[in-house]
């Protein structure tokens, strides 16, 4: 079976609901926030995250591609 984004989304959603039931809402939010932060740290360490692009987006400016 080839996993699609729908399959991953359903799996992640199920895990989040399980965490809410098992840990409580506040703890589940903390776990999910930690996972998201860890994901972006991993992308940065792998060289897949361009911080200058994120800064430009936050400022609302766009670079011109030549």
Instruction: Provide the pLDDT for residue 15.
Output: 92
Q: Note down the domain range covering 37.
A: 5-59
C-alpha–C-alpha distance, residues 66 and 49, integer Å = 22
Residue 28 domain flag: yes
Provide the domain count of the chain.
1
Residue 65 domain flag: no
Residue 66 domain flag: no
The 8-class DSSP code of residue 40 comes to H
Residue 64 domain flag: no
List helix spans (H) across the chain.
Answer: 5-23, 25-45, 51-59
C-alpha–C-alpha distance, residues 51 and 1, integer Å = 35
**Which residues of the chain fall short of a pLDDT of 70?**
61-66
Instruction: Provide the pLDDT for residue 64.
Output: 55
Residues present in the chain in total: 66
Instruction: Provide the pLDDT for residue 63.
Output: 55
Instruction: Provide the pLDDT for residue 21.
Output: 94
């Amino acid at each position: 079976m080839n996993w699609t984004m729908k399959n991953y989304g359903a799996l992640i959603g199920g895990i989040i609901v399980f965490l809410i039931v098992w840990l409580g809402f506040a703890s589940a939010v903390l776990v999910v926030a930690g996972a998201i932060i860890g994901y972006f740290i991993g992308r940065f360490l792998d060289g897949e995250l361009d911080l200058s692009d994120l800064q430009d987006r936050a400022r609302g400016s766009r670079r011109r591609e030549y």
